[in-house]
A and B are shown apart, each in its own frame.
Chain A
Amino acid sequence: MSGSLAETELRGFARSGTEDRSQGVSRSLFWDTLRRLFSNKLAIVGMLMIGTVILVALTAPWIASQHPDKNGVYRAFPQDNKLPPSIDHPMGTDVIGRDMLSLVIYGARISLLVGVFAVSLAIVLGAFLGAVSGFAGGTVDNVIMRIMDIMISFPTVLLALVIVVILGPGLFNAMVAVGIVAVPAFARITRASVLGETGKDYVIAARSVGAGARRVLWRHVMPNTLSPIIVAASLGIATAILDAAALGFLGLGAQPPTPEWGLLLSRNRGYMFTSPWMVFFPGLSIMFLVLGFNLVGDGLRDALDPKLD
């Protein structure tokens, strides 16, 4: 790791030279990035938004008034089940009298899980393919990247739909499908930054002291390609949540009675004109969480790329 450490320090040095010299302390890239991130107001807003959703997801059993698997209070006439927002039910109730707020609270768990799982899958597969592609070059590179070109040509939701039909509908398969769809983006990003790093001195140094290709790639090159991947991961979680919600909306993602936000929206779509709250709040929740990840992703990009200052 000596090569990558030296590189990091060099970057830190270059940075402390260009801006606030007053501190004069050499910082690591990590702390430098963190400091920049926390000086970005929009990124802080984003972190607070994500934090809120995580907190809601963790405390769901205590703050929700009703478990999503339970029906609400049945009333004699079905139309009486759809209660508009009130103090008892701040987001109203759905067509079978379930408290919308409770559904939305439990839905937070699903959307967070979907986003993190899908992107983790995409990073593992995409970073591996991209790293091998960029490092090996030649035919291997050509074959892998052409396959990625082909995959990226299909509209994401359409590709995810077909994958879900192959695997069978359901939340887990939807997460896998959304993850696979995101693989090419991560492969391209990783490849580009691996290509950018391999020519650098520390790689040549590592090679010249006899490190094998595998060691050079995973121990020396990869740690230095992390920043674009981290940025892409944050923005990718946002996209993954939207894609999974779209699958749920089309009926091929999570299945009832899972309180997945996209599914809630689609199940209640028929009552849109009489009881708009049933559609409004799940969609608003999706937007809230996705916006949080987009804000943090943007902030991370600015923090990791000093050029933009």
Chain B
Amino acid sequence: MTQYLIRRLILVIPVVLGVTFFAYSMVLLTGDPATALAGQHATPQMRAALREKLGLDDPLPVQYGRFLARIAQGDLGTSLISRIPVATELRLFFPATIELALAALIIAIVVGVPLGVIAGYKHNSFADLGTTFGSLIGVSMPIFWLALILLWIFGLKLGWFPFGGRIDRSVDLQIITNLYILDSMLTLNVRALLSALHHLALPAIALATIPTAFITRITRSAMLDVLGENYVRTARAKGLEEKSVVSRHALKNAMLPVITVIGLQIGSLMTGAILTETIFAWPGMGRWIVNAIVARNFPVVQTGVMVFALIYVFVNLAVDISYGWFNPRIRYS
């Protein structure tokens, strides 16, 4: 296992370097930072001076090296719009997105896995067809549309949920991690916890739709595969209760592909977060980056794009490692 771990960790290094290089250089392709910085009334001389000062005339690898060195010191640059260090903004927006994404992922797992198990177990039944069709509708919906519809029904018509934001303005909450749910639990602030959950519910449900549908589908097909295996027949033949056959023998083995899909869903969660945050005025990274892209706010775009990609890389590394843990055969292939 240790050897497998080391091998996987070594493999991830070029990807991490590639991702940071991509994030850095791709953003430079979107335009000249000096032009954006100097403003539209700057003379060519001013721009040239700025380019020189920022080191933008150096070869790309040199610039990239400097970029890495700065990151290593925790310096992510300064936002061109707000003039606040990007690292400070990141600490503000990152937890909001993590909170939203985790809540959505929990909903997706809690809803998707049981639905998939039932659909797979009762193959071709009415429940199976319903779940299959329902999950297909789930993956086919534009998430921004669903979010707007949810907002219209549950926000406007029924008035059950607020229209946006993370917490009521009237609620005092001592910020520790900026994960409002966690902070309110740590400070035993029930009012803040309820308010934060109240605000989180609708965006999290909207964001959870696609992952729920995917997890349902993959759990269903994994269950179908596993239920046809000899060891399931053996378990039944030796007289085990059906409940135990499903939960102890089938489900446990069906979980491997499900875990992989959960890892892969991180990417779609991040994409979904970009759209969901825009609609629910959720002050997270998605909204932050989209605004920065439109405003050509280079340091923010570089950091945001990089952070999103690194989350994906490391979650999938964790998935790979857990895979090797669950299935020893993989370690030696």
Contact = CB atoms under 8 A, between A and B. Distances in A.
Interface of A: 42, 146-147, 149-158, 161-162, 165-166, 238, 242, 245-246, 249-252, 262, 265-266, 269, 272-273, 276, 279-280, 282-284, 286-287, 290-291, 294-295, 298, 308
Given A155-B270, A276-B152, A250 B290 contact: yes
Nearest to A262: B142
Given A161-B293, A162-B305, A308-B221, 18 more contacts: A153-B19, A153-B310, A153-B313, A154-B19, A154-B312, A155-B312, A156-B268, A157-B271, A157-B275, A158-B271, A158-B289, A238-B140, A246-B275, A265-B142, A283-B145, A283-B149, A287-B145, A290-B142
A165 B301 CA distance: 12
Task: Please give me the 10 A-B residue pairs with the lowest Cβ-Cβ distance, nearest first.
Answer: A283-B145, A291-B140, A150-B18, A155-B270, A290-B140, A155-B271, A153-B309, A165-B30, A157-B271, A153-B312
Interface string B1-44: 00000000000001100110010001101110000000000000
A272 B152 contact: yes
A251 B294 contact: yes
B188 to A, nearest CB: 36
B195 interface: no
A157 B274 contact: yes
B15 A246 contact: no
Contact of A273 (B137, B152, B221, B310): B152
Contacts of A308: 221, 224
Contacts of A298: 136
A180 to B, nearest CB: 12
A245 B141 CA distance: 11
A294 B313 contact: no
Contacts of A284: 145
Interface of B: 14-15, 18-19, 22, 26-27, 29-31, 132-133, 136-137, 139-146, 148-149, 151-152, 156, 221, 224, 267-268, 270-271, 274-275, 278, 289-290, 293-294, 296, 301, 305, 308-310, 312-313
A262 B109 CA distance: 29
Contacts of B267: 152-153, 155-156
A154 B293 CA distance: 15
B272 to A, nearest CB: 9
B137 A287 contact: yes
B136 A294 contact: yes
Contact of B144 (A153, A249, A280): A249
B148 A283 contact: yes
B8 to A, nearest CB: 13
Contacts of B139: 238, 294
Given A165-B30, A272-B148, A298-B136, A283 B142 contact: yes
A286 B145 contact: yes
Contacts, number: 132
Contacts of B133: 42
Nearest to B21: A150
Contacts of B278: 250
A214 to B, nearest CB: 29
Given A165-B30, A287-B137, A295-B136, A154 B305 contact: yes
Contact of A280 (B137, B143, B149, B296): B149
A12 B109 CA distance: 40
A249 B313 CA distance: 27
Most buried by B among A151, A242, A294, A295: A242
A294 B18 contact: no
Contacts of B310: 153
A154 B302 CA distance: 12
B148 A269 contact: yes
Contacts of A154: 19, 22, 305, 308-309, 312
Contact of B274 (A152, A155, A266, A276): A155
A166 B27 CA distance: 8
B154 to A, nearest CB: 13
Contacts of A249: 142, 144, 275
B274 A149 contact: no
B142 A291 contact: no
B300 to A, nearest CB: 13
A273 B145 contact: no
Contacts of B152: 272-273, 276, 279
B81 to A, nearest CB: 16
A266 B22 CA distance: 30
Contacts of A242: 140, 142
A294 B140 contact: yes
22 contacts: A146-B14, A147-B18, A150-B18, A152-B312, A153-B19, A154-B19, A154-B308, A155-B268, A158-B270, A162-B301, A165-B30, A165-B31, A250-B274, A251-B294, A265-B142, A265-B148, A266-B144, A279-B145, A283-B142, A287-B141, A290-B140, A291-B140
Contacts of B26: 162, 166
A238 B136 CA distance: 11
Contacts of B146: 283
A265 B293 CA distance: 21
Contacts of A280: 149
Contacts of A153: 15, 19, 267, 309-310, 312-313
B180 to A, nearest CB: 23
Contacts of A272: 148, 151-152
Contacts of A150: 15, 18-19, 22, 309
A276 B152 CA distance: 8
Given A158-B274, A272-B148, A272-B152, A146 B18 contact: yes
Contacts of A149: 15, 18
Contacts of A146: 14-15, 18
A249 to B, nearest CB: 5
A157 B132 CA distance: 26
